[in-house]
Amino acid sequence: MAEPSAATQSPSVSSSSSVAESSAPGGGGGSPGACPALGAKSCGSSCAVHDLIFWRDVKKTGFVFGTTLIVLLSLAAFSVISVVSYLILALLSVTISFRVYKSVIQAVQKSEEGHPFKAYLDVDITLSSEAFHNYVNAAMVHINRALKLIIRLFLVEDLVDSLKLAVFMWLMTYVGAVFNGITLLILAELLIFSVPVVYEKYKIQIDHYVGIVRDQTKSVVEKIQAKLPGIAKKKAE
């Protein structure tokens, strides 16, 4: 009589073990080099950005990189109004020319294909109130975090962190004297599309030297904190 009970219990045991294996870390069979899992909702956008800056699709990344670089270089040479106006004129020239061309082809061939952009005109791009509130709530989280950080730095909750900000702003005065905002954006784009690829290729060597610099910086900061009044007392408490 004991054998039937064992047989009835075996499917549940096997199913629970399979569930445990599927929920275990690394049990999903993820491919190497995939972007880290950040949740079902945010994974799509985060993975797209990850694949973009790591040049997973060379054509797509090249198009985005080239387009943004041309726009930034144009902003460096012309005003924002001129660049925006030229971009809108170029887009309108393409769409109007294509619309007229398709109309002429339809008139010659006596076909009734309809509007060439009908598939895009029928796309629903309305923003629902729920999606709007979700975006606002997500933005408010970052805004509140930034406000807390600003108050903490400017009211000197931690003297070392406030001194770090002061030194950084002092260095930025020299950077601002050499570069303007557009130049910094161009440099930032070049770094965004080059540094991740280089880091991925030489990760071990870079981590080694970064660890050395981090240890040296940590030791210097600890020495400074030990000599500053009030810091040692606060740590002891």
* Residue 78 within a domain: yes
Distances (CA, A) of 96 to 83, 84, 113, 140: 20, 18, 17, 41
pLDDT tens digits, 49-81: 888 888 888 899 999 999 999 999 988 888 889
- Residue 157: inside a domain, yes or no? yes
| 53 domain residue, yes or no | yes
Please indicate, yes or no, if residue 65 is contained in any of the structural domains.
yes
| Number of domains into which the chain is organized | 1
Per the listing, tokens 């030229």 go with 86
pLDDT tens-digit readout, 174-207? 988 888 888 989 999 999 999 999 999 999 999 9
pLDDT one-digit tens code per residue, 202-225: 999 999 999 999 999 888 888 877
Asked whether residue 54 is domain-assigned, the answer is yes
Per-residue DSSP letter, 30: P
- Taking the C-alpha atoms of residue 127 and residue 125, their distance in angstroms, rounded to an integer, is 6
**In terms of residues, how long is the chain?**
237
Chain mean position to CA 228: 38
The radius of gyration of the chain from alpha carbons, rounded to an integer in Å, stands at: 29
CA-to-CA distance for 47 and 36, rounded, in angstroms?
8
Give me the domain span that covers residue 181: 45-110+136-226
Residue 28 confidence (pLDDT) = 43
Q: Is residue 120 assigned to a domain? A: no
Q: What is the mean pLDDT of residues 129-149?
A: 94
3-state secondary structure of 8: helix
Residue 202 forms part of a structural domain: yes
**What percentage of the chain has pLDDT greater than the value 70?**
77
DSSP state of 39: -
Question: Does residue 77 sit within a domain?
Answer: yes
